């Protein structure tokens, strides 16, 4: 790949990482993940 292709790939990967960060840090997703973890821990007891 050429340097321009690397640059476009890096920008796309960075944008995707930023989007995932926003999704994972949203309050709705955090509540859902916390609920899943709590149910898993209750099943393990």
The answer, as to whether pTM is greater than 0.75, is: no
According to the model, what pLDDT value does residue 2 have?
81
According to the model, what pLDDT value does residue 32 have?
93
According to the model, what pLDDT value does residue 6 have?
93
Give which of 8, 27, 26, 4 is closest to 16, Cα–Cα: 8
According to the model, what pLDDT value does residue 22 have?
94
- For the chain, 45 residues long, the average pLDDT of each consecutive 10-residue run is 88 96 92 92 81
Range of the domain at 44: 19-45
Calpha distance 26→10 (Å, rounded): 24
- Asked whether residue 34 is assigned to any structural domain, the reply reads yes
- Output the six-digit token pair for 21: 């960060």
Domains: count for the chain: 1
According to the model, what pLDDT value does residue 10 have?
95
Backbone angles phi, psi at 7, to 5 degrees: -65, -45
- Asked whether residue 28 is assigned to any structural domain, the reply reads yes
Calpha distance 21→34 (Å, rounded): 16
């Amino acid at each position: 790949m050429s340097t321009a292709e690397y640059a476009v790939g890096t920008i796309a990967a960075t944008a995707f990482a930023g989007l995932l960060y926003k999704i994972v840090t949203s309050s709705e997703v955090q509540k859902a993940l916390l609920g899943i973890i709590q149910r898993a821990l209750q099943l393990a007891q």
